[in-house]
Structure 1
Amino acid sequence: MSKIDDTKAFVPVRIAVLTVSDTRSLAEDRSGDVLVERIERAGHVVAERKLVQDERNEIASQLSTWCDDPEIDVVLSTGGTGLTGRDVTVEAHRDVYEKEIEAFAIVFTMVSMKKIGTSAVQSRATGGVARGTYLFALPGSPGACKDAWDEILEAQFDYRHRPCNFVEILPRLEEHLRRK
């Protein structure tokens, strides 16, 4: 089973938080607040925080901007992962992804099933990688953000987590660009 290897040093990562909403402001963004609090409590850096409207191009543009920023390792978005007509965050993420992390959605659904039962099928949480940056689209509820962070992301963004974690392979995400 997974564990923390105390012989390794903790390595903080720089995480940007993007809230997708037509109805909230940053002052009312409880889900973003949950993520920021957990990121900082874990010892990571909140590199930036923004709110954008539920517009596919606007979301994809912000994700791309952050993927091009060498000071950002991870982007966590919250909101817009449901099934309604305005929910386009997943499509925007996939517009940017080079590789999708399919297992993230599966594990998130497993975690959600324990909390909300079959209602978990309504989430389209997703994860991927683009230009050396991890990207995760989380639902817009504070509870879902807590579940994603507490049950999956906190461990995967801890360099000491074994048997493996996202941080240890971060430097290799763009190794294909160095090949000849």
Structure 2
Amino acid sequence: MAATDRPFIPVRIAVLTVSDSRSLAEDRSGDTLVARIEAAGHHLVRREILPDERALIRDQLAAWVADAEVDVVISTGGTGLTGRDVTVEAHRDVYEKEIDAFSTVFTIVSMRKIGTSAVQSRATGGVAGGTYLFALPGSPGACRDAWDEILVKQLDYRHMPCNFVEIMPRLDEKMRRKV
């Protein structure tokens, strides 16, 4: 539900594709996210592709958390169960707080699309340094589902009864608190 009396507030989003084999030219999942981000009126401010290496992913996430030009990071790929799937672990290395319900809601959305195969995804969300971070599976369909069913709404200040944008100014309260 949208509140028509509230203005749209664009957020600045970075997209990270995690893949050992894709290049920017072959990044259909990243392209899916970029198209949806821009169609919604948000700003794509960074985009990278990295191999499935936990330290590289963690360091890129941490760099974007420290970047004042990035409000939200969305990664795609590396959320499965294989030995090379380390994106979730890299995200959790960076999170200050995990958004537990993001995984649950993503699973519900996925169940409607792919049935019990949804159990194989480890999509996750969290917050660090006043920045939202979301790890999505590497398929264009999963990126489409996560954006269309969850993120487009939660990243819209007009979405009621609540959304991620309205609490964004308060995410880093503990860093501003005087002791």
Give me the TM-score of the superposition, normalised by structure 1: 0.98
Unpaired runs of at least 5, structure 1: none
**Whole-angstrom distance in 2 between the partners of 1:179 and 1:13:** 24
Over 6 Å off, 4+ runs: none
Matched, 1:74 2:84: no
**Whole-angstrom distance in 2 between the partners of 1:91 and 1:76:** 15
1:96-175 equivalences under 5 Å are 96-175=94-173
SS in 1 for 2:52: coil
The C-alpha deviation readout for 1:42-65, integer Å capped at 9, x for no partner, is: 000001100000000000000000
The C-alpha deviation readout for 1:114-169, integer Å capped at 9, x for no partner, is: 00000000000000000010000000000000000000000000000000000000
**Whole-angstrom distance in 1 between the partners of 2:35 and 2:82:** 28
Instruction: Provide the alpha-carbon RMSD of the alignment.
Output: 0.4
State the match for 2:40 in structure 1: 42
SS in 1 for 2:134: strand
Unpaired runs of at least 5, structure 2: none
State the match for 1:24 in structure 2: 22
The C-alpha deviation readout for 1:6-59, integer Å capped at 9, x for no partner, is: 101000000000000001001100000000000000000001100000000000
Q: Which amino acid aligns with 1:139?
A: P
Aligned residues: 178
Give me the TM-score of the superposition, normalised by structure 2: 0.99
